Structure 1
Amino acid sequence: MKRHQVTIIDIARQLNLSKSTVSRALTGHASVKEDTRQAVLTLAKALDYQRNMLAINLSSSQSRTIGIIVPEFVTSFFPVVIMGAQEIADQAGYTVLICQSNESYETEVANARTMIANRVDGVLVSLTRETRNFDHLAVFQRKAVPMVFFNRICYDIDVPKVVVDDYEGAFKATEHLIQTGKRRIAHLAGPMSLYISRKRLEGYKDALRKHNLPIDDDLIISYDLNLERAKIYVNYLLDLPEPPDALFAVNDPTALEALKIIKARGLSIPDQIAVVGFSNDYGSSLIEPGLTTIAQPTRDIGRIAAQLLLEQINSETTTWKPVTRVLKTELIVRGSSVKP
């Protein structure tokens, strides 16, 4: 049996009020007397009245929804970013629509279409490792839908961005290894399609240059962040005639995979080989030895990205200054690089 959907008319009839008075009472209009408003709200709650948000939003040309497109949920990074963004969105009265692309460009394109179809007021985007064409994201600009990139960004589209100083973080990680006496430092880099991978590689190289250490191409491997391949590359590095005495990994999952392989091969950490990651993922402090890593202000990335987006949404102009907010990182030293 189909359940009757309570409407404003039902409430108006029971209280002998006009439909417009009930509507204004439900939306908190100042013209409605307090006793009338309370009577409407009490009855609405008793009848389990659900406001038709779609109709309300269509009439105001806003959905009160922001979209977030992320490439994966494998690590703790993106869920924590989303928590930060949702905190700001909730405070402003916005609902959050989340899409995860699973590192697939085609899925990311479909996610962008989903956001457009759901009439989001703005969107936060972090790219997949496969994304090299940005036409699906340029659609947001053509439709005057505000957009902010974070973490994995695109400089081909002139919108606000929130990143950490990936170069500085990688420089600090590599210099830390040098300062502990390491000289053959390998780098498992991310795909060069990602700006963060390029900046972390650049920071790694410049730290070597600063300390007059050679840049050995045999010790640098760029890969697609597939951890099954990470296993192959770590074993390759360990099997070199002159294996590395340290490894700087593009992210914590890569570093953690490397630690498992190194331990399985019976090598001493950090004496024979030290490891440093990037991100300070949840598991990096739980393993033995703990993973030395570069911590990012993850929740702040989400908060700031959402704030920049809401500033655009609430702006009276469709021309926004494409600011880039660069946040600092912190070196967290644990047992994978220095003995306790």
Structure 2
Amino acid sequence: MSNATANLSDVAKRAGVSKSTVSRVLNNKLGNGFSVKEEVRSRVIDAAKQLNYRPNLIAQSLTKSKTRMISILGGSHALSELGNIYQTVVNNATAVLDESGEGFDVTIDMSSHSKTDSELPAWRVDGVIVLASCSETTMQELESSGIPYVVVNGPAGENGASVVPDDVCGMVEAINHLAEFGHKKIAYAGPVGKVLQGHSSLQDRFSTYLSEMSRLGLEPIFGKGDVCASADKFLESVVIARGATAAVAYGHMGGLNLMQAAHAHGISVPERLSLICFCDEYANRIMSPRLTFIDLRTRDMGRIAAELLLEKIKSPKQELNRLVKLEEKLVLRESTAAPAST
């Protein structure tokens, strides 16, 4: 017999006990008048190890009221870029789930799905965490099935919860910081135009940049398209040609690309150009000089999302129609200073 095919009956035979005894020992469900000697318990565990026995989680999910399985959806789009914010979210969410003592197995869906596909796994799960977004079909299934779910950095349906950063607050912090240094020519280095129809952060950051510049009586300065793909053109058209002395980058990759391009053009940071980006502390560690940044609170997003999910799993009838909005924070580092002319 191949160890890979070992089942409950094989373990019971090797240990010389019944299948029910094996099941109770391995699931740690002794009680209600049922007990085993320590010698029997050790024999069962040793037999399971010798046979490389692994429980059939799918089969268990069909028979148990609780599966002890959590699915994280959206990995294909949220985790595709190295160093992005969702890695920190997932790390902190899984840490909370592990520390709960409930014995959850957490899976992450990294498959690509069409817009009409369901992203839910074939097996039953106790709860779901969605990274940013999922297909409309998936959302409808989550809403109709009653599976507890939380969306991180995206909208939830009527029966779910959502944990998001406050991008409006973050942009206000960034512009005010640069204005207090005396910058008058503050550029926005991020997606503009038709791409703003995507994630809400695209619209929130750009529209808040425009409104804050208007409030301060300053002229908005920005390039075209996505600065991540054209940092050199952005510097040439916005910094060199129009004299911008500061820039707020949409994300850490845009900030990093601008910093590298600035070095290539002989533009010193922060003496000639002050830079701020939106990111998390982990992503900021890879940059030199270290960028002043708007902290998206990714650790807190992951932690709170997991806590909300655990709360709903434990109390299914409890209302979970919540929107938790986390205030973004300005973290001062080495890439911002007063403009050279002041």
- TM-score bin, normalised by smaller chain: 0.7 to 0.9
Residue 328 of structure 2 aligns to which amino acid in structure 1?
T
Structure 1 range deviating more: 8-17 or 290-299 = 8-17
Q: SS in structure 2 opposite 1:253? A: helix
The alpha-carbon deviation at position 266 of structure 1 amounts to: 1.4
Q: Deviations over 1:8-44 (max 9, x none)?
A: 3344345543332332222222212343333322333
The alpha-carbon deviation at position 172 of structure 1 amounts to: 0.9
Q: SS in structure 2 opposite 1:117? A: coil
In 2, Cα distance between the equivalents of 1:289 and 1:273?
12
| C-alpha distance 98-139 of structure 1, shift in aligned 2 (>3 A) | same
1:93 corresponding residue in structure 2: 103
1:149 corresponding residue in structure 2: 151
Aligned-residue Cα RMSD (Å) equals: 3.0
In 1, Cα distance between the equivalents of 2:201 and 2:144?
27
In 1, Cα distance between the equivalents of 2:114 and 2:240?
38
The alpha-carbon deviation at position 283 of structure 1 amounts to: 4.9
Q: Deviations over 1:218-244 (max 9, x none)?
A: x13574x5722455444432354x232
1:179 corresponding residue in structure 2: 180
2:164 corresponding residue in structure 1: 163
Aligned counterpart for 1:80 among listed residues 88, 91, 97: 88
In 2, Cα distance between the equivalents of 1:263 and 1:11?
64
The alpha-carbon deviation at position 199 of structure 1 amounts to: 2.4
In 2, Cα distance between the equivalents of 1:221 and 1:3?
61
1:262 corresponding residue in structure 2: 262
In 1, Cα distance between the equivalents of 2:297 and 2:205?
17
The alpha-carbon deviation at position 48 of structure 1 amounts to: 3.3
Aligned counterpart for 1:214 among listed residues 207, 215, 218: 218
In 2, Cα distance between the equivalents of 1:299 and 1:63?
26
Q: Which runs of 5+ in 2 are unaligned?
A: none
Q: How many equivalent pairs are there?
A: 324
2:71 is the counterpart of 1:67: yes
Q: Is the Cα–Cα contact under 8 Å of residues 187 and 246 in structure 2 kept in the other structure?
A: yes
The alpha-carbon deviation at position 88 of structure 1 amounts to: 1.9
In 2, Cα distance between the equivalents of 1:325 and 1:175?
25
1:204 corresponding residue in structure 2: 209
| C-alpha distance 305-109 of structure 1, shift in aligned 2 (>3 A) | farther
In 2, Cα distance between the equivalents of 1:156 and 1:4?
41
1:33 corresponding residue in structure 2: 36
The alpha-carbon deviation at position 289 of structure 1 amounts to: 2.5
The alpha-carbon deviation at position 335 of structure 1 amounts to: 2.4
Q: SS in structure 1 opposite 2:120? A: helix
Q: SS in structure 2 opposite 1:331? A: strand
Q: SS in structure 2 opposite 1:325? A: strand
Residue 12 of structure 1 aligns to which amino acid in structure 2?
A
Q: Deviations over 1:142-183 (max 9, x none)?
A: 2222221112x1266662111122211111111111111111
Aligned counterpart for 1:51 among listed residues 41, 49, 55: 55
Report the TM-score when normalising by structure 2. Answer: 0.81
Q: Is the Cα–Cα contact under 8 Å of residues 185 and 244 in structure 2 kept in the other structure?
A: yes
In 1, Cα distance between the equivalents of 2:310 and 2:35?
30
Q: Deviations over 1:239-284 (max 9, x none)?
A: 54x2322111111111111112222111232233211111135353
Q: Is the Cα–Cα contact under 8 Å of residues 296 and 329 in structure 1 kept in the other structure?
A: yes
Same amino acid, percent of matched pairs: 27
Q: How does 1:211-290 map to 2 (within 5 A)?
A: 212-216=216-220, 219-221=221-223, 223=225, 227-240=228-241, 242-290=242-290
Q: SS in structure 1 opposite 2:5? A: coil
In 1, Cα distance between the equivalents of 2:157 and 2:176?
32
Report the TM-score when normalising by structure 1. Answer: 0.82
| C-alpha distance 136-17 of structure 1, shift in aligned 2 (>3 A) | closer
| C-alpha distance 226-54 of structure 1, shift in aligned 2 (>3 A) | farther
2:291 corresponding residue in structure 1: 291
In 2, Cα distance between the equivalents of 1:259 and 1:312?
44
Consecutive aligned runs of 4 or more in structure 1 exceeding 4 Å deviation: 1-4, 155-158
In 1, Cα distance between the equivalents of 2:44 and 2:304?
38
Q: SS in structure 2 opposite 1:50? A: coil
In 2, Cα distance between the equivalents of 1:285 and 1:3?
45
Residue 329 of structure 2 aligns to which amino acid in structure 1?
E
Aligned counterpart for 1:123 among listed residues 101, 123, 128: 128
2:330 corresponding residue in structure 1: 331
Q: Is the Cα–Cα contact under 8 Å of residues 280 and 298 in structure 2 kept in the other structure?
A: no
Q: Is the Cα–Cα contact under 8 Å of residues 256 and 284 in structure 1 kept in the other structure?
A: no
In 2, Cα distance between the equivalents of 1:194 and 1:269?
30
In 1, Cα distance between the equivalents of 2:14 and 2:27?
19
1:139 corresponding residue in structure 2: 141
